[in-house]
Every structure is written in C-alpha cells, then in structure tokens.
C-alpha cells in the first residue's frame, strides 16, 4: 500500500524532496498533485509556507498525503517518479527490466522478427542487428543482448519491442482460440464499423468527406510522463507506454472541444475494421456517450454491446462467453464522456454481466473495472469534466493537443487539392499569428479552411479571436444559402435573424439541459424550419436505432455553444440574470439557476468544470465586444445589448477579483505569488475575446503580485495570445511561470507583447525549439525588466546559443539563464562562453543534462573566470571529466561571488577533484561543490571529504 510506504520510507522521501537544498522538487510534486486534483489550493498554501524550512514544508506534505489516504499517496509516488532525474529510465524501459526473464524467453524464438520491427521503426541500424546476431552467442544470449541494446536506446525502442511481443502473443492466442461463430460475428462487426467510420460526420452542410482523405495526425502527449519525448502514434494509445496504474483497464484521451477526439476514435475504428491497426483485439465496440443519453431502458452489459454496436446473427451466448473468457482480446471505446448527462460515480457496484442497470451505471462499472475486468476501455473527454474519482481508475491519460504547425500545413493541403489555393490560404493564416495559433485546434482549422474565400478577401481584418472565426462561418453558411440582397454592412445578419433565433433557442435549451441530439419535436418547439436546417449548421445524426425518427445535432458542440451565445445576446426571452449566471457558476447556490439542471453533482460542488457553459460564456463575451456590437444594431434593441455587455464586463471583473482575493499574504521579505486556480485561464480568454484594452486593464487593476504561476494549465498558443493581451496590463513587472504546458514556438511568439512586463519567464517542458528562442530573444533584449529565463526540457540545440550569447552580451542586467535537459553540445557551450565573457550581471547559470563535455566546460570556465556576479553554476550530467574540472578550478579561485558549483553525474576522477580542492583553499565564499556520481572509489571519496568538507559526494 502506498500509504504504508509514505510512512515507512519517510526519511528517504524527505531526502528525495529536499536533498538538493532547492525548493523545486517539492514544488514540482505539489504542482502535479494540484493538477491532478489531489491537493486543493488551500492544502497547497498550507504546505508551501514561505520562510519555513524546506524540510518542514516537505514533512507537512507527507503528513497531508498520508492523511488523505491511499489514492493521494499513490498520486504522490507517481508525481515523485515524474520529477526524478532524466537518468532514471523511462517507464517502458523499466518494464524491460522488471519483465526481463519472460521477455528473454519470448524473444528467443523470434529474434529475426523483433529485429525487423526495430529496423523498421529506425530504432536499430543494420549494424546493431549484425551485432546482436553474432553466431558465437546462444539464442538466449542474443535475446539478452537485444534487450540491453534496446534499454540503452530509451523508451521508444523499448516500446517497439514490447508491442512486437504483445502482438505476437495475441496472434498466437487468436489462432488457437477464436471459434468459428466468433469470426462470423467479427466480420459483421467490422463491416458495420467500416460503414460508420469511412466518412467524417461533421461535414453535413458541405458534403461528406472521406476520413482517409482528410485525416491528419494530431499531437498526443502522455499526461503523467513529461519526460517521454518520443512520438506517440495511434497504437501507443492502447500500448503499455506511460502506464501509471497497471491494475486499471481504462485509458483516457482528453482534449479540448474540437481538438479531434471523436475523429481520432473514428480513425481507430476505421483502421481496426480494415485490419490495419489494433489487431491484437478480436472485437472492438464503439460507443458515443452523446447517443447513449437517449437509451432509457435498463440493460445488461451483453445487451449494451449487442444492441448498440452489432447484433450477432446466432450463438449470442457463446460470443458473449468468449468476451468474458478472453477480456484482453476486446476493446470498448466511449467517445465524449463529458457529454453523458450523469457524471462519474462509483457508488453503485455491479458485478454480474447479466444484471440489467441504467446505461450510465453500466458505463461507470465498466470504466472502474467491476464489469468486464481485463477488457480495455478507451474513453475520450474534455479534461475539465474528469473528476478525481474517475482519475483513480485510469491506467493512463493522454492529452490530444490538436495539430502541430506541420499538421496545419498538411490539413490545409488535404482540404485544398489546388496547390495554389492551399498556399494562399496557408500564407494568409501564417501572416496572422493569432489566427495561426487558433488553427492548432482542428475544428477551427476546418472552419478557417472552409471560409478560405472570406479569409482571402478580408485583407487586414482577418480573424483574431474564436468568436471572429465562428462569425465568419456563420456568414459563410448563411450567404451560401441565400446571397445577400445588398453586399454592404451587416444586413446579412438581419436577413437571417429569425433562423438564427430558432437555432439559437434550440442550442440554448440544449446547453441548459446537456442535450446534444434533438428530435423533430424539439425542432418544432423551437420553430426550426426546413430552411433553417438547410443552412447547414444542423446535421442528421447517423446510426440511430431504426425505430427512432430522425435526429439532429449541431455540426460540432462548439457550434451549438456559439448559437446558444447568439441567443443569449439577441433574444428578449432569456432571463435578465442569464448572463450573470453563466459567469458565476462557481458560486454557491447556482444549482437553482437556469443552468443548474445541466450540472452534475460534481460540477455543483465545483469538483469539475462545465466546459460547454464556459465556451458559451466565451462566445457571449466576443459577441458583445465593441468590435461586434454594430452587428446587432438592427437585430436587437441597443439598450438591451448595452446592458448585457455591461453585465459581462462586471462579471469578468468580479471573477478576476475573486481569484486575486485568494492570494495568500506573503511572509515578510518574500515574494507575493499567485497560483492560477481553475477558471483563471478561461476568464483571461473571455477578456481576450472582447479585445478591449480598458477591460483588461481594469481587470488587473487590483492585482498586485510578484509571481504568477500557471503550471500544468493546458496552455497552448491560443491561451498565450489571450494571456499576453491581458498580462501586458500588469501594473508592475512580475515573474510568469508557464512550466509544463504546450506553449511551443507559436505560443512563444504570442507571448511577446507582454515580455516588457515580465521579470522572469519560466517555460520548462514546453516543446520550444531554437526558432522560438530566436524570436523570444530578439524581443527580450529590448525589454529592460526581462532578467531571468528557465528553459529546462525543451528542444534546444546549439543553433539557439548564438542568440542567447547575443542576449548576454547586450543585456547587462540579465540575472539567470537555465537551459537544462536540452541538446547543447561543446559547440553551443563555446558560443555561450562568448556571451558570458562580455556579461557582468549573470548570477545563475544552469546547463544540467546537456552534452557540453570537457571542451565545453573549459570554454564556459574560462569565460567565467573573474566573474563578480556568478553565484550558482550547474554542469550536472554533461560528460565533464577531469580536464573540465581543472578548468573550473581556475573559475573557483577567481570568482568571489560563487556559492554553489554543481558537478554531479559527470566523469571526474580523483585528479580533477584534487584541483578543485586546491582552488577551494583560495575561495572561502564557496559553500558547496556537488560531486555525487563521478568516477571516484569510496576510499577516494573518503579521502577527499577529509581534505575539504565543502565537497558533497
């Protein structure tokens, strides 16, 4: 039990958290626990008390997780594992170690196939293969050598080999165990899924599109393993990579609305049905939670599978028996768990697969493993809608992050086969970085691409916000349906006002009641006519049971939210308090508001957020902004629109103030810092939709912090645009901490407008490359306040060092540069040294986990000789030997300000340490030189420690 371990290993754990003397490991662990909902903000502030000793804070944390119970303790160990050094092998490589005997046995008979798989994935070279297959070795020795080499190559190679073995075992099992009637059922299931998944469903208004023609790979990331840097493909979703709980059967793919979750599942269905992927599963059952909402009967699991996916022509019981006996050969997929009316609960346990129950109860029992244990369940959801209770039952979680910049390129080219049009559209998107940021979201990329004519025709007025993009498609569809009588002005809106209100009412009522599929009677109630349907925003729901009449849904849930927002802005029939209620959902008592009925118990308690209401509120902000208010002139009474706009501004202001009030008072002499709570980034995005500087200024007028912490907040380029728009109005310069997000190069560019107000910028683990750094520095050197940067664990190479060097030469007030865990070699170090030589302000320099070697260390050491400002230098894990150590000794001697020198995990021998000892005799200011894990025997360590107590081994 993890809880016992927290008790028994207390001193080791304290050591893990505090031995470095830095608060960072403790903070990082708490960040992860906060992000996973295991700690509340209040817990966080109780533990992290500034001015109290690090060990005391760490002890408080251990007491707290222990008191919270087993789940919190498990989460604590996961978090601790995550933050440990990169030398710790990745999770998959660890599996190679723990399962070694079995793997050696498996591999002996199929070495050729395994090597072929490694070659194909480019993890092995031909030479590696020749090495393994040397005839002097027995097959088992060859298998062991193969595992050693795979381990040394890291997680992606380990993954290939584990997948290969898994596949082999499954093929074998399938060959021996699949009965005939099952194969017949499999064939029927495959052909039904093939028919359902070949075309993409949201192209209703504009014709069907084959998924093969349009599918573009999205970015997948593991939620619990920031260190896994390899590319994750579709098969990795169901593979062992990134497993955090081996007992659990449920894999979650989470992503924002429109990030492509449904499309990704559809792709998996199609590939399985074709026999092109996931072939380790004999049966795949696809479900949409949206559609499950309309199942009102109580069903058994057997009925659920057969009635909703594919009915067996005969031998039902045998087929179900096969599923029960071979759970590992079956996968069930549930799309959009967030759209299920009920939120996850594990109160009612079912154990019998024949026991009928309401569908949501079946679903929850499947996810937590009470039913069909061993069957893999793959679920998609928006992250805000997943509470801590479900998280306990997850095998792993992956984030779907939408398109990469290359993905946008590829998608637009697939959309526009005419290469001239494609390159014009791309040029126009790239010319507007805010729009480029928006296009990382596939649904927005799709809309922009649909509206290419409008886009190319709008000159400087290209869309900047999400509302702009949706207004563009509104105009596009409406004008497509009936061209405007007069082409000037916003008359297109007035001409279609009635239709908009009909659809708006339907959407609004749907958002209120968590309804996303509408029957003809719902359409009638809202007066939606055939002509309104023809506009293209509604599409017919596919694959509904034959006894039901036609059903409709909006092209995408975000489109429904947009229409709901139009209704809130334009209709006289909404309650006067609707706007306020939309923004104040987190206040107590909101269950009595009109939106109360669409909130689950978890949402009402504030455990999870209500993403559709948040999206609707974001659109309301955009639609009521000054820029768009002229559109409503002839459509709604101006005083009413003005009143609603004022209400929105008041709500945003109030929402921000609530966040600021939560900032704890700093201990005297310490910095005042604010950790963003859930909802903060959303409020910032709402303010950005309005794009009125005075609102941003007003919202921040009472914020008085030195440090703004936005770690693990799912911040991508779009959020960066909004943050920069708002934060540039900070009253005084602050540190902005964006570690562990998905900022990327595009996001970095979006942040530039607020760089002048940024004292320090923390961008650890954010997928940033040299190009992003080039742009950041070009702006950074013009900003007086900008003094610190942390870029740990990005994708930086030597190519960025010339820019950093330029920064060091130019900015004589720059204080801290942290570049750990990137790919900087001796060449890059030499470039950096040129900048360091001319700099007279730098205090902290961190290069942990690069590859600068001896010659890089020599260059850095010589550049820092005589520095009067350097306090802290880390060259941990850089392949530095005694030559480097000797060079650093000169720096030690001549650098009066230096306090800590970190040389852990290098290859320094006794000779190198001796020169450091000598140098230390000339510098009494140095507090410690860290030398753990170098090339010294225990006797040498003993001897050196006796000579100099400031050496730490």
Pick between residue 95 and residue 450 the one whose CB is nearest to ligand ADP. 450
What is the rounded CA–CA span in Å between residue 790 and residue 776? 12
What is the rounded CA–CA span in Å between residue 380 and residue 679? 21
288 binds ligand ADP, rule: CB under 6 A: no
Dihedral of CA atoms 344, 350, 356, 359 in degrees, nearest 10, equals 10
Considering the complex, what minimum distance in angstroms separates the CB of residue 211 from ligand ADP?
8
Pick between residue 227 and residue 556 the one whose CB is nearest to ligand ADP. 556
Report the residue count for the chain: 953
Considering the complex, what minimum distance in angstroms separates the CB of residue 558 from ligand ADP?
7
Type and span of the H or E element at 64: helix 54-68
What is the rounded CA–CA span in Å between residue 25 and residue 835? 30
Q: Helix 301-308 crosses helix 359-368 at what angle (to 10 degrees)?
A: 110
Query: Could you tell me which of 3, 115, 109, 134 has the C-alpha nearest to residue 63?
Result: 3
Which phi-psi region, left, alpha or beta, contains residue 455 (left: φ > 0; alpha: ψ -120 to 50)? Answer: alpha
User: Is residue 813 within 8 Å of residue 841, measured between CB atoms?
Assistant: yes
476 binds ligand ADP, rule: CB under 6 A: no
- 257-265, 618-626, 821-829, 870-878 -> range binding ligand ADP (CB under 6 A): 257-265
User: Is residue 504 within 8 Å of residue 474, measured between CB atoms?
Assistant: no
Considering the complex, what minimum distance in angstroms separates the CB of residue 597 from ligand ADP?
23
Pick between residue 288 and residue 906 the one whose CB is nearest to ligand ADP. 288
Considering the complex, what minimum distance in angstroms separates the CB of residue 268 from ligand ADP?
11
Site string for ligand ADP, 389-428 (x = CB under 6 A): ----------------------x-----------------
What is the rounded CA–CA span in Å between residue 660 and residue 667? 17
Of the candidate residues 57, 263, 450, 560, the single one contacting ligand ADP (CB under 6 A)? 263
Considering the complex, what minimum distance in angstroms separates the CB of residue 913 from ligand ADP?
54
Pick between residue 450 and residue 765 the one whose CB is nearest to ligand ADP. 450
Considering the complex, what minimum distance in angstroms separates the CB of residue 560 from ligand ADP?
11
Site string for ligand ADP, 510-549 (x = CB under 6 A): ----------------------------------------
What is the rounded CA–CA span in Å between residue 129 and residue 143? 11
Q: How far from 38 is each of 64, 501, 932, CA to CA, in Å? A: 10, 43, 33
Considering the complex, what minimum distance in angstroms separates the CB of residue 404 from ligand ADP?
11
- 46-54, 441-449, 522-530, 881-889 -> range binding ligand ADP (CB under 6 A): 441-449
How many residues touch ligand ADP under the rule CB under 6 A: the total is 19
What is the rounded CA–CA span in Å between residue 609 and residue 420? 43
Of the candidate residues 255, 717, 828, 846, the single one contacting ligand ADP (CB under 6 A)? 255
Of the candidate residues 156, 254, 262, 740, the single one contacting ligand ADP (CB under 6 A)? 262
Pick between residue 214 and residue 677 the one whose CB is nearest to ligand ADP. 214
Pick between residue 241 and residue 288 the one whose CB is nearest to ligand ADP. 288
Q: Within a 10 A sphere around the Cβ of 704, how many other Cβ atoms?
A: 14
Of the candidate residues 103, 158, 257, 283, the single one contacting ligand ADP (CB under 6 A)? 257
Dihedral (CA of 562, 563, 564, 569) sign: positive
What DSSP assignment string belongs to 497-508? HHHHHHHHHHHH
Query: Could you tell me which of 472, 476, 553 has the C-alpha nearest to residue 507?
Result: 553
Please identify the residue of the shown chain whose CB is closest to the bound ligand ADP: 260
Pick between residue 48 and residue 202 the one whose CB is nearest to ligand ADP. 202
Pick between residue 339 and residue 689 the one whose CB is nearest to ligand ADP. 339
Site string for ligand ADP, 185-224 (x = CB under 6 A): ---------------x-x-----------xxx-x------
Query: Could you tell me which of 130, 109, 28 has the C-alpha nearest to residue 76?
Result: 28
DSSP state of 858: H
443 binds ligand ADP, rule: CB under 6 A: yes
Considering the complex, what minimum distance in angstroms separates the CB of residue 236 from ligand ADP?
15
- 190-198, 251-259, 593-601, 723-731 -> range binding ligand ADP (CB under 6 A): 251-259
Q: What residues contact 101, with CB distance under 8 A and at least 6 apart?
A: none
688 binds ligand ADP, rule: CB under 6 A: no
Of the candidate residues 144, 261, 290, 886, the single one contacting ligand ADP (CB under 6 A)? 261
What is the rounded CA–CA span in Å between residue 830 and residue 855? 8
Of the candidate residues 442, 463, 655, 747, the single one contacting ligand ADP (CB under 6 A)? 442
What is the rounded CA–CA span in Å between residue 482 and residue 535? 9
Of the candidate residues 168, 290, 496, 556, the single one contacting ligand ADP (CB under 6 A)? 556
Backbone angles phi, psi at 531, to 5 degrees: -65, -40
> How many separate helices (H) and strands (E) can be counted in the chain?
48, 22
- 34-42, 438-446, 488-496, 692-700 -> range binding ligand ADP (CB under 6 A): 438-446
What is the rounded CA–CA span in Å between residue 59 and residue 26? 10
Cα of first residue to Cα of last residue in the chain, in angstroms, is: 33
Pick between residue 539 and residue 867 the one whose CB is nearest to ligand ADP. 539
Considering the complex, what minimum distance in angstroms separates the CB of residue 270 from ligand ADP?
12
Q: Within a 10 A sphere around the Cβ of 597, how many other Cβ atoms?
A: 12
Considering the complex, what minimum distance in angstroms separates the CB of residue 714 from ligand ADP?
13
Pick between residue 250 and residue 906 the one whose CB is nearest to ligand ADP. 250
Query: Rounded to a whole number, what is the largest CA-CA distance in the chain?
Result: 92
Binding residues for ligand ADP (CB under 6 A): 200, 202, 214-216, 218, 255, 257-263, 411, 442-443, 446, 556
């Amino acid at each position: 039990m993890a809880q016992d371990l927290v008790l028994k290993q207390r001193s080791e754990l304290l050591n893990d958290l505090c031995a470095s003397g830095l608060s960072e490991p403790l903070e990082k662990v708490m960040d992860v626990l906060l992000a996973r909902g295991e700690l509340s903000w209040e817990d966080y502030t109780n533990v992290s008390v500034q001015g109290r000793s690090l060990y005391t804070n760490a002890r408080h944390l251990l007491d707290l997780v222990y008191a919270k119970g087993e789940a919190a303790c498990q989460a604590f160990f996961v978090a601790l594992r995550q933050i440990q050094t990169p030398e710790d092998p990745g999770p998959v490589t660890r599996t190679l170690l723990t399962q070694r005997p079995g793997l050696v046995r498996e591999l002996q008979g199929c070495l050729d196939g395994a090597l072929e798989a490694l070659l194909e994935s480019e993890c092995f070279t031909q030479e590696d293969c020749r090495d393994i297959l040397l005839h002097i070795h027995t097959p088992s020795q060859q298998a062991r050598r193969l595992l050693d080499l795979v381990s040394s190559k890291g997680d992606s190679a380990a993954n290939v080999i584990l997948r290969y073995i898994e596949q082999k075992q499954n093929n074998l099992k399938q060959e021996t165990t699949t009965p005939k009637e099952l194969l017949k059922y499999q064939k029927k299931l495959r052909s039904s899924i093939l028919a359902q998944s070949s075309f993409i469903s949201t192209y209703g208004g504009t014709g069907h599109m084959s998924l093969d023609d349009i599918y573009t790979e999205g970015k997948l990331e593991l939620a619990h393993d920031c260190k896994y840097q390899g590319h994750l493909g579709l098969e990795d979703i169901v593979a062992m990579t990134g497993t955090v709980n081996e007992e659990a059967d449920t894999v979650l793919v989470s992503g924002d609305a429109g990030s492509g979750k449904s499309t990704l599942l559809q792709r998996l269905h199609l590939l399985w049905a074709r026999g092109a992927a996931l072939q380790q599963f004999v049966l795949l059952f696809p479900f949409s939670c949206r559609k499950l909402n309309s199942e009102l009967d109580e069903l058994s699991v057997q009925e659920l599978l057969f009635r909703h996916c594919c009915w067996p022509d005969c031998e039902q019981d045998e087929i179900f028996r096969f599923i029960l006996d071979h759970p590992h050969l079956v996968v069930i997929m549930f799309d959009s768990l967030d759209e299920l009316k009920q939120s996850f609960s594990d109160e009612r346990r079912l154990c019998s697969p024949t026991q009928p129950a309401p569908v949501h109860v079946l679903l929850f029992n499947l996810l937590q493993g009470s039913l069909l244990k061993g069957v893999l369940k793959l679920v998609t959801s928006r992250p805000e809608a997943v509470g801590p209770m479900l998280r306990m039952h997850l095998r792993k979680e992956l984030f779907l992050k939408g398109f990469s910049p290359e993905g946008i390129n590829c998608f637009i080219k697939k959309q526009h086969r005419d290469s001239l049009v494609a390159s014009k559209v791309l040029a126009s998107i790239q010319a507007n970085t805010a729009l480029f940021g928006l296009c990382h979201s596939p649904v927005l990329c799709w809309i922009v691409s649909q509206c290419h004519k409008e886009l190319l025709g709008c000159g400087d007025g290209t869309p900047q916000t999400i509302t702009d993009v949706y207004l563009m498609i509104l105009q596009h569809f409406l004008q497509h349906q009936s061209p405007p009588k007069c082409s000037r002005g916003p008359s297109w809106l007035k001409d279609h006002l009635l239709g908009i209100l009909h659809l708006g009412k339907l959407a609004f009522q749907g958002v209120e009641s968590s309804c996303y599929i509408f029957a003809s009677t719902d359409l009638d109630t809202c007066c939606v006519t055939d002509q309104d349907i023809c506009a293209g925003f509604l599409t017919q729901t596919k694959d509904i049971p034959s006894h039901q009449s036609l059903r409709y849904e909006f092209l995408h849930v975000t489109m429904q939210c947009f229409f709901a927002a139009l209704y809130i802005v334009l209709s006289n029939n909404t309650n006067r308090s609707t706007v306020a209620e939309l923004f104040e959902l987190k206040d107590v008592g909101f269950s009595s508001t009109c939106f109360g009925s669409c909130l689950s118990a978890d949402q009402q308690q504030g455990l999870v957020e209500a993403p559709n209401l948040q999206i609707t509120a974001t659109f309301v902000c955009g639609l009521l902004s000054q820029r768009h208010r002229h559109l409503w002139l002839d459509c709604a009474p101006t005083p009413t629109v003005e009143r609603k706009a004022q209400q929105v501004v008041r709500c945003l202001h109030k929402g921000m103030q609530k966040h600021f009030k939560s900032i704890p008072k700093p201990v005297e002499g310490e910095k005042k810092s604010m950790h963003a709570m859930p909802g903060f980034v959303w409020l910032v995005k709402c303010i950005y939709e309005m794009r009125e500087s005075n609102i941003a200024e007003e919202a921040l007028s009472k914020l008085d912090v030195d440090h703004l912490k936005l770690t693990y907040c799912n911040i991508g380029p779009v959020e960066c645009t909004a943050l920069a728009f708002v934060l540039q109005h900070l009253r005084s310069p602050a540190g902005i901490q964006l570690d562990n997000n998905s900022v990327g190069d595009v996001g970095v560019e979006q942040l530039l407008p607020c760089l002048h107000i940024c004292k320090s910028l923390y961008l650890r683990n954010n997928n940033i490359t040299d190009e992003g750094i080039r742009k950041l520095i070009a702006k950074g050197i013009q900003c007086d306040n900008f003094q610190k940067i942390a870029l740990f664990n990005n994708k930086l190479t030597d190519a960025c060092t010339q820019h950093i060097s330029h920064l060091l030469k130019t900015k004589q007030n720059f204080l801290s540069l942290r570049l750990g865990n990137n790919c900087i070699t001796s060449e890059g170090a030499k470039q950096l040294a040129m900048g360091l030589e001319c700099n007279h302000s730098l205090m902290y320099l961190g290069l942990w986990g690069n590859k600068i070697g001896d010659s890089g260390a020599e260059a850095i050491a010589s550049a820092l000789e005589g520095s009067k400002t350097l306090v802290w230098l880390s060259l941990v894990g850089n392949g530095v030997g005694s030559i480097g150590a000797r060079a650093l000794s000169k720096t030690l001697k001549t650098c009066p300000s230096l306090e800590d020198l970190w040389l852990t995990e290098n290859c320094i021998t006794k000779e190198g340490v001796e020169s450091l000892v000598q140098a230390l005799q000339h510098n009494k200011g140095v507090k410690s030189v860290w030398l753990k894990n170098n090339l010294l025997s225990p006797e040498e360590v003993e001897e050196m420690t006796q000579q100099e107590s400031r050496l730490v081994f």
